[in-house]
Amino acid sequence: MGLCDMEAELREFVAGLEPETLPAEAAAGLVDTFATIEKLGAAGKALAARRVAASNLWRGAGERSAAHWLAPGGLVGGRRDGDARDRGAFG
C-alpha cells in the first residue's frame, strides 16, 4: 500500500467517524493515534520539503522561494491541480 492509498483510507475513516458513538476510552485512543499520525506527517513533510528546496522545483511553480512554496496557498494551503506534488511520487 502506497502513501496515497493510506491517505485515501484515512480520509474514508475520518469521514465515517462518529465520535459520539464511541466509548470514552476508544476516543482517547483515537486522539493518541491521530497525534502520532500528525507527527509522522509533519516529519515526512519536512523531509520531502528539504529535497524540494534543494532541487529548486519550487521555482518552476512560480514561487519566490521554497518558503513561499510551503506557505498557505502552496503546500500547506492545499494541493494545486497539476502540481508536481500531486503526481503520485509517493503513491
pLDDT digits (tens, 9 = 90+) for 18-63: 999 999 999 999 999 999 999 999 999 999 989 988 888 888 888 8
pLDDT at 72: 72
Place of cell 494545486: 80
Number of domains in the chain: 1
Place of cell 465515517: 16
Q: Does the pLDDT value for residue 67 go beyond 70?
A: yes
Does 66 fall in a domain? yes
pLDDT at 41: 94
Largest CA distance in the chain: 49
Does 19 fall in a domain? no
Does 63 fall in a domain? yes
Does 12 fall in a domain? no
pLDDT at 58: 81
57: domain range? 51-78
Task: Tell me the pTM.
Answer: 0.69
Does 64 fall in a domain? yes
Does 74 fall in a domain? yes
